Amino acid sequence: MKSVLVPINPEGWKFVAIFAAITVGLFLIAEPLGWIGVILTLWCAYFFRDPDRITPTDENLVISPADGRVCMISQAPLPKELELDDKTPRTRVSIFMNVFNVHVNRCPVNGEIVGEAYVPGKFVNAELDKASENNERQILLVRHKEGREFGVVQIAGLVARRILCDVGTGSQLKAGERFGLIRFGSRVDVYLPEGVSPNVIVGQTTIAGETVLADVSAKGKEAAVGEIR
């Protein structure tokens, strides 16, 4: 039963209730409409599912913050909104979440949040490169051991209209720990420290809290820099 009854994130219950109430109204209007409401209510519960994950314990590993597909691996400096002096290009791994993916986001490494910025913006397709500059986004700077810093950016998408982030500057997080979610289609970017190469490729499917994005203890292979597929 545990594998079937996946928990629902607390943020989702109010939406499930709204969908259920609308469904009752649709049944009163016409039974076929009511069954459409049932399907949508079940989809809403499915969207907000929040399964447990088994996170690797090696502190050198960078873990995926999102379920989805690696849509792009590129070079870019940390977001300017963090107002840092460091403008060195880093490897940025972008993970796109569609409306069928789990949308709960998890911290990629053990560390402390040492910087944050919220940027209002547009809601263009999150798979596009310009989404990292134009879309609404929540930016976190996570300081890992030995002072290594990671950028983690939640980006709203075409149908996403709300970014939820439950942490802020000073928060201490463990790799795989939940820190927020984005509603209805979006993207999460991870900026790796300089010299760290990804262990994933464009088009690969990732699982939040489980998939290894990189290993900071080894240079590994050259980054598979690529455009969106």
Catalytic residue among 64, 74, 186, 217: 186
Residue 217 falls in the annotated catalytic set:
no
The Cα angle at residue 188 between residues 182 and 121, in degrees rounded to 5: 65
Six-digit token string for 138: 């929540």
- Nearest by Cα to 43 from 120, 100, 3, 127: 100
Six-digit token string for 144: 């890992």
C-alpha to C-alpha distances, 18 to 21, 22, 23, 227, nearest whole angstrom: 5, 6, 9, 39
Sheet holding 178-182, edge to edge: 104-106, 178-182, 163-165
Which residues are marked as active site? 186
